[in-house]
Amino acid sequence: MDIRPRNQRSMAALMDDLVDEVLLRIPPDEPASLRAALVCKRWRSIVTEPGFSRRFRQFHGTPRLLGVLCHRTSYPDFNDGHDFDPSPTTHFVPTSSLSFRPTHASHYRWRHGDVRHGRVLLYGVPWRVDYHMNSIVVWDPITDDWGPFLVIFMGISYHEIFTYVYSSESNVWSERISSERRYRWTFAEQLPAALVGNSVYFLVHMNKGIVRFDLNLKQISAISLPCTLLNQRIMLMAMEDRKRLGYATVSESKTFIWEVYCDLGDYSRLGPNRVIDLGKLMPASALEQTPVVNGFIDGLSRVLFIWTVDGFFTVDMKSEHVREISKCCAFDKVIPYFSFYTPESFSSQ
């Protein structure tokens, strides 16, 4: 029981509110200041309270790039008595100046499929029949745990396009949701999907089309893309209003942002939206080969993640500010990992 006079309790509560407001305004790039707050027992109780992390995310809006997820094939020592195993391993490679390192930075025989809301979708790569067969894991590199989530599995068979939806809260997969396959599509690209409004969009192999799954109506529809996009590397993304679908691609030294107009039936048309001249923003050595758009972060800042022969760069779509963030260009399928390294994370390490 607090036996202090009421005016003293009110003053203490007011001071806590003021400290809370000050700590909220510490930039995510300066975690040392938040670490310092943990020294004081009273301040520690403020910054480690779960509600603080929620307000911290809301206040700063755009999460920070903490690292990249890369694939690399494992080649064990042939003299160690084990069979050759070309299974890929997902690695987390830090790119931030923060002292963040995941507890488990490598996941042997797992591939990463997508990253959203600070969580990574991993799927097992079967090497033997009983190992990781048809397994999917959702991993939070910061907490090594997960909260409520949905997983949407989309596949293409000979006759149909189908989806299943998994809910962590009910711990069950939905019934099969399917639509007749109208095009000669084979399978989806193993690239991150785009969330636009209440729909998730998947890119079909060789950019032949886009599959849309409406989360509210639980319906599947298909969009045919022009043959001029075959074999280009494109990244699906939400346009600036978060209500329209678009994609980014690079041709020579320019990044093109296109909007996809979806009408009824199988009709679709494309319109250019923006061009970013990388030749004016990046060193010439990085453009000796055509860059590739590897990822996209949609927050208060809209940032493209681009591979070059010199390494990986981020491009702020509003300011066109470019920053080199990693040299790990020898890896396969690199996806950026954006999240907040928040105060309760500090206290748990």
Convert the pLDDT of each residue in 79-121 to its tens digit.
Answer: 444 444 556 788 888 876 656 778 888 888 788 889 888 889 9
d(CA 211, CA 190): 13
Whether 29 and 62 have beta carbons less than 8 Å apart is answered as no
Q: What is the pLDDT of residue 28?
A: 62
d(CA 170, CA 215): 16
Q: How many helices (H) and strands (E) does the chain have?
A: 5, 23
Is pLDDT above 80 for 296?
A: yes
Average pLDDT over residues 298-311: 80
Contact residues for 15 (Cβ-Cβ < 8 A; gap 6+): none
**Could you tell me which of 62, 43, 21 has the C-alpha nearest to residue 34?**
43
Look at residue 176 and tell me if it is in a domain.
Answer: no
d(CA 181, CA 163): 13
Is pLDDT above 90 for 215?
A: yes
Counted domains in the chain = 1
d(CA 254, CA 145): 39
Q: What are phi and psi of 268, to 5 degrees?
A: -150, 150
Q: What is the pLDDT of residue 34?
A: 56
Q: What is the pLDDT of residue 77?
A: 44
Is pLDDT above 60 for 129?
A: no
Look at residue 137 and tell me if it is in a domain.
Answer: no
Give the confidence band of 346 by pLDDT, cuts at 50, 70, 90: very low
Look at residue 218 and tell me if it is in a domain.
Answer: no
Which tens digits make up the pLDDT trace of 172-214? 999 999 998 777 777 777 788 999 989 999 998 888 888 999 9
* Domain of residue 24, residue span: 6-58
Q: What is the pLDDT of residue 81?
A: 46
Look at residue 317 and tell me if it is in a domain.
Answer: no
d(CA 202, CA 195): 9
Q: Left if phi > 0, otherwise alpha if psi is -120 to 50, otherwise beta: which for 150?
A: beta
Look at residue 195 and tell me if it is in a domain.
Answer: no
Which tens digits make up the pLDDT trace of 220-258? 988 888 787 877 888 898 888 888 888 998 988 899 988
Is pLDDT above 50 for 267?
A: no
**What's the whole-model pTM score?**
0.77
**Could you tell me which of 287, 325, 240 has the C-alpha nearest to residue 66?**
325
Look at residue 71 and tell me if it is in a domain.
Answer: no
Average pLDDT over residues 313-330: 80
Look at residue 74 and tell me if it is in a domain.
Answer: no
Look at residue 12 and tell me if it is in a domain.
Answer: yes
Average pLDDT over residues 117-130: 73
